[in-house]
Structure 1
């Protein structure tokens, strides 16, 4: 039996603090991997309005959305 290590609170804090740097270094690999697995990817571009994200779906459609953690995302505009 293999035990998976659990993230400690310090690890989560470090990851959260490193996230902006990791995003800046991203070459699109993560988005491509998600889409290849049939999972929508969320990201922003330089001109994405504050508080919104672009949701790219595996079928290639893209939408400007407001993410709701309580339910479905709110689609602002199809891109």
Structure 2
């Protein structure tokens, strides 16, 4: 299932269950494939601020971003 952050609040319960199942089985291979294709990825960690996600670029740069307004907003660059 290809998702963008804006789609998360419009998922049906069935799509949410499928997405959660895929997350539980994730080994990072899909993220690496997407990065190799030149596309940024979004994820969270235990220390990610509430309401924010980490955006990682193919070149390794990372940023903390927020989607609370519906649009992506840079909160801050992250140290590598």
TM > 0.5 fold call: yes
Q: Give 1 or 2 for the bigger CA radius of gyration.
A: 1
Distance in 1 of aligned mates of 2:52 and 2:23: 16
Residue correspondence of structure 1 range 28-67 to structure 2 within 5 A: 28-67=28-67
Which stretches in structure 2 are left out of the alignment for 5+ residues?
1-11
In the TM superposition, what is the alpha-carbon distance from 1:51 to its structure 2 partner?
Answer: 1.0
How far the C-alpha of 1:17 sits from its partner, in A, is 2.0
SS in 1 for 2:24: helix
Aligned Cα RMSD in Å?
1.9
Preserved CA contact (<8 Å) 2:51 2:68:
no
Q: Aligned-pair distance for 1:15? A: 2.5
The separation in 2 between residues aligned to 1:14 and 1:70, in whole angstroms, is 23
Aligned length: 67
